[in-house]
Amino acid sequence: MILRSLAIALRKQDWVTVVIETLIVVFGVFIGLQANNWNEARQERVETHSMLERLERDFEQKLGLTERGIERQLVLLEVTSRLINGIRAGQLDDETLAADLALVDSVVSTPGPSVAFQELVSTGRLRLIRSEALRDALYAYDGYISLLRGQLSQIHTPMSELGRVIIRAKRLELSGQPSETFAQIGRVEAVDRAVLLEDADIMNALQGAYVIQDNSHLVLVYLQARIAVILELLAEERGVQAD
């Protein structure tokens, strides 16, 4: 309708009408572009808010897992050191011996990579995060977790060796029925104290396990600090995005 009116005005050389109609067309296009830009900006804000929430939930879960892992690792260090010191002194604690032997070859796992972060990278939406510090922290965490996963075999080999030699001193409880809980698996009925005190392979394996458990504890503490920083940066990013 506007274009027809503009064409008629041009034929009549009605320049006032031409100017008015042209301004109406330009203004209409401008309003349309502004509305489209506003809609895109609104959609991006919604998408960014959802993304930050997912990242926050993901790393809150990882922080919880890491904190529980640290607590578990401290227990394992105490167990291993008690066995080593008991063997060295030739005085094993009968009250804790069976439980210690059941735990000593355990390994605490580290939290895995952030699926939310990896999805952002693969879809190119990491650009929605304004903070360079946050992006760097997320990349650093992902790289460190990948490095740790590559070193798992180095941890499992000596711990498997400990499990192999420590079984010499265990007499397992064999009920002939399937275990109903994980705690029942490998439950110790009796311990051969002489084997523990005299088998050099067991002492060597225990000391190797202690080093690994000590290292694992430091790794978990380091991860805890990294995750805490990421959560702080995420909180800051959400505040900035809300402005």
Q: Which residue has the higher pLDDT, 226 or 12?
A: 226
Point out the least confidently predicted range of 24-38, 66-80, 176-190: 24-38
Tell me the residue range of the domain where 74 lies.
2-242
Structure tokens at 100: 């210690």
- Residue 206: C-alpha distances to residues 110, 134, 161, 197 (Å): 21, 41, 10, 12
Mean pLDDT of 154-178: 81
What mean pLDDT value characterizes the chain? 81
Q: What is the DSSP letter of 176?
A: S
C-beta of residue 185 within 8 angstroms of C-beta of residue 179: yes
What tens digit of pLDDT does each residue of 99-136 get?
Answer: 898 889 888 888 889 988 998 888 888 888 888 999 99
Could you tell me the pTM of the whole model? 0.77
In this structure, is the dihedral angle defined by the CA atoms of residues 150, 155, 158 and 160, taken in order, positive or negative? negative
At residue 234, does pLDDT exceed 70? Answer: yes
Report which secondary-structure segment, H or E, holds 189: strand 188-191
| Residue at 216: amino acid letter | S
Rounded Cα distance, 136 and 117, in Å = 12
Provide, rounded to the nearest whole percent, the portion of the chain with pLDDT above 90.
Answer: 37
The pLDDT value recorded for residue 71 is 95
Tell me which residue has tokens 């290292």.
Answer: 215
Closest CA to 65 of 108, 117, 118: 108
Q: In sequence order, what are the beta bridge partners of 81? A: none
What is the total count of domains within the chain? 1
| Residue at 23: amino acid letter | L
Mean pLDDT of 176-185: 73
At residue 237, does pLDDT exceed 80? Answer: yes
Rounded Cα distance, 75 and 26, in Å = 73
C-beta of residue 144 within 8 angstroms of C-beta of residue 226: yes
